[in-house]
């Protein structure tokens, strides 16, 4: 009887660490839907500023999308790994699974980059899925090696400060020392662009540089490992309100520290600067804290969560489908009077451009595109099919 009484007095607000966190799926869904939205405006020329990437230093809402997805991938590493270990899978089997998944993600990224014509001579090697693959692989191996929070935290500190030192003080061959011989974070005269031009000339997204370049994977590791730290925090046997407060405190810390570091090392998505890592993590944590409060504490899960759960349940599938569809529409050439344009522009100019103004039309096109991408993942969701790579 004494044992029974003791069990009944455990606070009901303590969350089972193995329970699926609905708010995490919601945030993942919001992120992937917004990623599809900003990637598929009707016209970059007329798009609203917040729906385009910042030209260089600084940030827009669009610049926060990719790091949010990478951050959430870090959280998922913790929950997925612990769930598989609890089912009796060995760490060796998990490492093999991680390696297999990373290779598939990387190859999918190459397919997305090349579709539908696949010009192998100029095929871009870097990309969104490729960065996710690399960071996921390294972060997962690190967590399987040692799941202590201090290991991930130490790696984050080393990655962010090491990248700052590299970009700020290490001389670039044939160029010189940043801030002394060339401006700090010069678009073309920086370590990331220099290395990428040496490795993959003619295969870079912006010709002379690439926003997913090799060296910027170093701070990107900071992003996914901050997600790992968040996952460790969410699995701790603490009350939901305590977890929400922790998320909010971490969010404010990231926003403040990122803004302060921005003074010496500007926030820059295309170089994935250390200040950008902290600031973007703070924004993701803020969104997660809000969704955690709504879904896990207040239990507001009916209605509003549905579309985000649908997108979040097959996030990679939704992203790949959107990229292939966009590439296909941009490749098909059609006649419009005396001129020949791609099908995407024909749809935008005929159906969306005349509505109110070109910018609003661009937004409506992007929303329509998201709704089209929603259909296949909704069908998968209805049939309980979740494509796990």
The pLDDT tens digits of the residues spanning 245-265 come to 999 999 999 999 999 999 999
Convert the pLDDT of each residue in 226-246 to its tens digit: 999 999 999 999 999 999 999
The answer to whether position 3 is within a domain reads no
Q: How many CB atoms lie within 10 A of CB 16?
A: 8
Beta bridge partners of 172: 176
Indicate whether 388 belongs to any domain.
no
Which residues 6+ apart lie within 8 Å of 40 measured at CB?
322, 326, 365, 366, 369, 370
Q: What is the token pair recorded at 234?
A: 């969410």
pLDDT at 301: 86
Number of separate domains in the chain? 1
Q: What is the mean pLDDT of residues 366-389?
A: 93
CA count, 13 A, side-chain hemisphere, 188? 4
Show the domain range for 178: 16-382
What span, in angstroms and rounded, lies between the C-alpha atoms of 76 and 326? 28
Residue for token pair 């990122």? 258
The owner of tokens 């405006």 is 41
Give the pLDDT confidence of 281-326 residue by residue, as tens digits. 999 999 999 999 999 999 998 889 999 999 999 999 999 999 999 9
For residues 28 and 71, give the distance between their C-alpha atoms in angstroms, rounded to a whole number.
Answer: 10
What is the per-residue pLDDT for 45?
77
Cβ count near 72 (within 10 Å)? 27
Give domain status of residue 287, yes or no: yes
* 17: pLDDT strictly greater than 70: no
Rounded Cα distance, 225 and 160, in Å: 11
Terminal CA-to-CA distance of the chain, rounded, Å?
48
Q: Judge whether 189 lies within some domain.
A: yes
pLDDT at res. 335: 81
The H or E element spanning position 333 is strand 333-336
Mean pLDDT of all residues in 349-376: 91
In a domain, 8, yes or no: no
Average pLDDT over residues 144-159: 98
147 secondary structure, DSSP code? -
Q: Render pLDDT for 70-119 as a digit per residue (tens, 0 to 9).
A: 999 999 999 999 999 999 999 999 999 999 999 999 999 999 999 999 99
* Alpha-carbon gap, residue 271 to 269, rounded angstroms: 5
More confident residue, 40 or 12: 40
* 6 assigned to some structural domain: no
Kindly give the residue spans of alpha helices, DSSP state H, lying in the chain: 2-8, 22-39, 65-86, 91-114, 128-145, 149-169, 191-199, 217-235, 240-261, 274-292, 306-313, 315-331, 343-347, 358-382
Tokens for 372, please give them. Answer: 């089209």
Residue 216 lies in a domain: yes
- Does a structural domain hold residue 244? yes
* pLDDT range class, residue 18, cuts 50, 70, 90: low
With contact defined as beta carbons under 8 Å apart, do 77 and 142 qualify? no
Q: In sequence order, what are the beta bridge partners of 334?
A: 341
């Amino acid at each position: 009887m004494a044992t029974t009484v003791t069990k009944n007095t455990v606070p009901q607000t303590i969350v089972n660490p193995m329970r699926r966190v609905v708010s995490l799926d919601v945030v993942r869904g919001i992120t992937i839907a917004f990623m599809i939205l900003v990637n598929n405006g009707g016209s970059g020329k007329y798009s609203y500023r917040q729906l385009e990437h910042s030209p260089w230093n600084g940030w827009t809402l669009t610049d926060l999308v990719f790091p949010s997805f990478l951050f959430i991938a870090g959280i998922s590493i913790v929950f997925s790994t612990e769930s598989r270990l609890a089912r009796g899978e060995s760490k060796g089997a998990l490492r093999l699974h991680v390696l297999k998944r990373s290779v598939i993600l990387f190859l999918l990224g190459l397919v997305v980059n090349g579709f539908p014509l696949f010009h192998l001579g100029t095929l871009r090697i870097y990309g969104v899925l490729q960065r996710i693959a690399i960071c996921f692989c390294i972060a997962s191996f690190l967590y399987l090696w040692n799941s202590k929070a201090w290991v991930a935290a130490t790696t984050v500190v080393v990655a962010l400060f090491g990248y700052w030192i590299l970009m700020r003080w290490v001389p670039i061959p044939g160029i010189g020392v940043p801030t002394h011989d060339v401006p700090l974070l010069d678009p073309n005269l920086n370590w990331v662009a220099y290395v990428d031009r040496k490795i993959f000339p003619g295969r870079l997204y912006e010709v002379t540089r690439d926003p997913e370049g090799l060296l910027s994977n170093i701070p990107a590791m900071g992003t996914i490992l901050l997600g790992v730290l968040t996952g460790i925090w969410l699995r701790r046997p603490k009350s939901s309100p305590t977890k929400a407060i922790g998320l909010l405190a971490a969010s404010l810390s990231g926003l403040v520290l990122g803004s302060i570091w921005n003074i010496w090392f500007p926030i820059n998505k295309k170089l994935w600067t250390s200040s950008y890592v902290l600031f973007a993590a703070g924004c993701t944590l803020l969104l997660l804290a809000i969704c955690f409060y709504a879904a896990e504490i207040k239990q507001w899960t009916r209605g509003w969560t549905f579309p985000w759960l649908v997108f979040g349940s097959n996030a990679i599938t939704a992203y790949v489908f959107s990229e292939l569809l966009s590439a296909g529409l941009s490749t098909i050439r059609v006649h419009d009077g005396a001129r020949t344009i791609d099908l995407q522009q024909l749809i935008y100019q005929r159906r969306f451009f005349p509505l109110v103004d070109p910018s609003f039309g661009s937004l409506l096109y992007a929303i329509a595109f998201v709704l089209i991408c929603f259909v296949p993942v909704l069908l998968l969701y209805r049939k309980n099919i979740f494509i796990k790579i």
